């Protein structure tokens, strides 16, 4: 989804909140982000659905706290990701 397609979905959010985290648009038009968004993303994919269902039992405030901890370490985590194009897995 491009920026112009996402704009109407993000419009109800305050400007500072739009860029504070990533957001997942659900089929019903609602948005989730932070830790709860990660759970919804995992639940939406067949291979990761069991992990999403397991994490759904964790309170949102705990998930958001863990997300915040990881987000504050983006610079450190980013150094662990190699530069350059991603490996090609499929021809």
Q: DSSP class of residue 62?
A: H
Residue 42 has pLDDT above 90, yes or no: yes
pLDDT band at 43 (very low <50, low <70, confident <90, very high): very high
- Of 36, 24, 88, 89, which Cα lies nearest the Cα of 60? 36
Residue 39's pLDDT is 93
pLDDT band at 30 (very low <50, low <70, confident <90, very high): confident
Mean predicted confidence (pLDDT) in 17-29: 82
Give the C-alpha separation, 27 to 25, whole Å.
7
- Of 70, 69, 73, 60, which Cα lies nearest the Cα of 33? 60
- Of 16, 15, 14, 34, which Cα lies nearest the Cα of 24? 34
Burial of 31 from C-beta contacts in 10 A (0-12 / 13-18 / 19+): middle
Residue 38 has pLDDT above 80, yes or no: yes
pTM exceeding the 0.85 threshold for the entire prediction: no
């Amino acid at each position: 989804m491009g920026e112009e397609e996402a704009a109407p979905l993000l419009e109800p959010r305050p400007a500072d909140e739009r860029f504070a985290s990533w957001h997942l648009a659900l089929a019903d038009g609602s948005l989730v982000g932070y830790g709860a968004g990660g759970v919804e993303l995992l639940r939406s994919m067949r291979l990761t659905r069991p992990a999403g269902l397991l994490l759904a039992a964790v309170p949102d405030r705990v998930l958001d706290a863990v997300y915040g901890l990881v987000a504050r370490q983006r610079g450190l985590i980013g150094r662990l990701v190699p530069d350059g194009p991603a490996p090609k897995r499929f021809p």
